[in-house]
């Protein structure tokens, strides 16, 4: 019995589903505004144009671009729907390299800036540099430099500063507070930037699928797969499942089955739910052989 909370079109769609008429159900869900469900049904019946139409109506642009590239081979239209990769997701923010960002931020970690020996960057410069570093939150060199600067400030404060020089001591305390504050900002912005990185990675995977269809050289595509593997090491809640699915599809289409194995192995090692099953299903579909893999790791017991 259909739920009384459903509208008439969704109830009709449910009836068509029970009758096995997926195409009619998809049309009902599309008209009802259930765009993703309609697109999934259109895909199941092989109507990929219908799926693109539903996703476009729902403004689910990246999935529409993926179907255009992967299922329809319409790389021109797929590329048109992907934002310019040269444009930062931080609209209006001039971003440079991490090295340039560090050059701007370095005075904030150096006490001499507070004593007038070094020029102080403007607030805008600092904010832009923070954004740049937040987009590379896992850069070990940046982390090391921050730690070294903190230790240097502490050592100087403890061993090389006249404790009677209150102005200098206050400057060092201010440096310490600023470092703590900036690291918190980096941490907060890093969470937001990870979502931006995830979106950017999906866009690059769409373009990589276009590259494969257009027979681009492998050296142009493999770095995207490497970045996808890196993303799969993030916590599962922070990583879109499409990252694995699309990366596997790109590697399969190349065909580079060694990279497919690397992608799945990364997911298994990261304990991503269902990774073993997906790897086995891929193997059966491609080779008719079921891989013998370790079972899904048991969740860690709560302490």
pLDDT digits 0-9 by tens, 122-177: 545 554 555 454 444 455 555 555 555 455 545 545 555 443 444 444 444 544 55
User: Across all residues in the chain, what is the average pLDDT?
Assistant: 74
CA nearest to 200, candidates 140, 136, 124: 136
**Same domain, yes or no, for 190 and 114?**
yes
Q: Is residue 263 part of a domain?
A: yes
Tracing tokens 């979106």 back to the chain, one arrives at 199
Q: Is residue 267 part of a domain?
A: yes
**Average confidence (pLDDT) over 16-32:** 91
- Give 48's contacts (C-beta < 8 A, 6+ positions apart): 42, 67, 71, 72
Q: Of 196, 227, 254, which residue sits at a domain end? A: 196
Q: Is residue 60 part of a domain?
A: no
Tracing tokens 């600092």 back to the chain, one arrives at 126
Q: So what's the pLDDT on residue 171?
A: 45
Q: Is residue 66 part of a domain?
A: no
Tracing tokens 């299922």 back to the chain, one arrives at 71
Whether pLDDT at 181 is above 70:
no
CB 221 within 8 A of CB 254: yes
**Same domain, yes or no, for 185 and 233?**
no
**Same domain, yes or no, for 244 and 184?**
no
Cα angle 198, 200, 180 (rounded to 5 degrees) comes to: 60
Q: So what's the pLDDT on residue 302?
A: 47
CB 156 within 8 A of CB 172: yes
**Same domain, yes or no, for 110 and 188?**
yes
**Average confidence (pLDDT) over 56-72:** 95
Q: Is residue 232 part of a domain?
A: yes
**Same domain, yes or no, for 244 and 302?**
yes
Q: So what's the pLDDT on residue 234?
A: 81
Q: Is residue 163 part of a domain?
A: yes
Q: Within the chain, how many helices (H) and strands (E) appear?
A: 14, 0
Whether pLDDT at 188 is above 70:
no
Query: Whole-angstrom Cα distance, residue 189 to residue 184?
Result: 8
**Same domain, yes or no, for 177 and 117?**
yes
Estimate to the nearest angstrom the gap between the alpha carbon of 160 and the chain centroid.
Answer: 45
**Same domain, yes or no, for 169 and 245?**
no
Q: So what's the pLDDT on residue 137?
A: 46
Q: Which domain holds residue 267?
A: 217-303
Q: Is residue 84 part of a domain?
A: no
What is the radius of gyration, based on Cα positions, of the chain? 26
**Same domain, yes or no, for 265 and 189?**
no
**Same domain, yes or no, for 103 and 191?**
yes
Report how far apart, in Å, the C-alpha atoms of 98 and of each of 38, 107, 127, 178 are. 43, 15, 13, 19
Whether pLDDT at 19 is above 60:
yes
**Same domain, yes or no, for 221 and 190?**
no
**Same domain, yes or no, for 293 and 240?**
yes
Q: How confident is the model at residue 94 (pLDDT cuts 50, 70, 90)?
A: very low
Q: How confident is the model at residue 7 (pLDDT cuts 50, 70, 90)?
A: confident
**Which carries the bigger pLDDT value, residue 168 or residue 186?**
186
CB 48 within 8 A of CB 32: no
Q: What is the pLDDT of residues 217-274, one digit of tens each?
A: 999 999 999 989 988 988 776 678 999 999 999 999 999 999 999 999 999 999 999 9
**Same domain, yes or no, for 246 and 164?**
no
Query: Whole-angstrom Cα distance, residue 57 to residue 73?
Result: 21
Q: Which DSSP letter does residue 138 get?
A: T
98: left (phi over 0), alpha (psi -120 to 50) or beta: alpha
**Average confidence (pLDDT) over 103-114:** 52
Q: How confident is the model at residue 281 (pLDDT cuts 50, 70, 90)?
A: very high
Q: So what's the pLDDT on residue 30?
A: 92
**118, 122, 125, 131: CA torsion to nearest 10:** 100
What total number of domains does the chain contain? 2
């Amino acid at each position: 019995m259909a739920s009384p909370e459903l509208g008439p079109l969704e109830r009709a769609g449910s009836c068509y589903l029970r009758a096995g008429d997926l195409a009619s159900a998809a049309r009902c869900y599309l008209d009802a505004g259930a765009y993703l469900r309609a697109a999934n049904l259109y895909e199941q019946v092989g109507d990929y144009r219908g799926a693109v139409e539903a996703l476009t109506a729902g403004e689910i642009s990246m999935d529409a671009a993926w179907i255009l590239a992967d299922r329809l081979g319409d790389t021109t239209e797929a590329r048109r729907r992907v934002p310019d990769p040269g444009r930062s997701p931080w609209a209006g923010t001039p971003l440079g390299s991490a090295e340039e960002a560090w050059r701007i931020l370095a005075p904030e970690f150096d006490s001499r800036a507070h004593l007038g020996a070094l020029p102080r960057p403007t607030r805008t410069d600092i904010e832009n540099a923070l954004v740049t570093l937040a987009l590379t939150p896992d850069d070990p060199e940046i982390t090391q430099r921050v730690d070294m600067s903190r230790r240097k400030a502490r050592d100087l404060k403890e061993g090389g500063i006249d404790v009677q020089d209150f102005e200098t001591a206050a400057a060092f305390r201010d440096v310490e507070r600023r470092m703590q504050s900036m690291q918190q900002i980096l941490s907060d912005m890093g969470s937001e930037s990870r979502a931006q990185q995830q979106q950017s990675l999906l866009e690059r995977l769409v373009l990589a699928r276009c590259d494969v269809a257009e027979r681009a050289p492998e050296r142009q595509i493999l770095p995207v797969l490497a970045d996808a593997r890196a993303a799969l090491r993030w916590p599962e809640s922070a990583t879109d499942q499409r990252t694995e699915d699309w990366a596997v599809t790109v590697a399969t289409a190349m065909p580079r089955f060694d990279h497919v194995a690397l992608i799945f192995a990364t997911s298994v090692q990261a304990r991503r739910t269902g990774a073993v099953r997906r790897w086995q299903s891929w193997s059966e579909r491609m080779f008719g052989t079921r891989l013998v893999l370790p079972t899904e790791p048991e969740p860690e017991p709560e302490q």
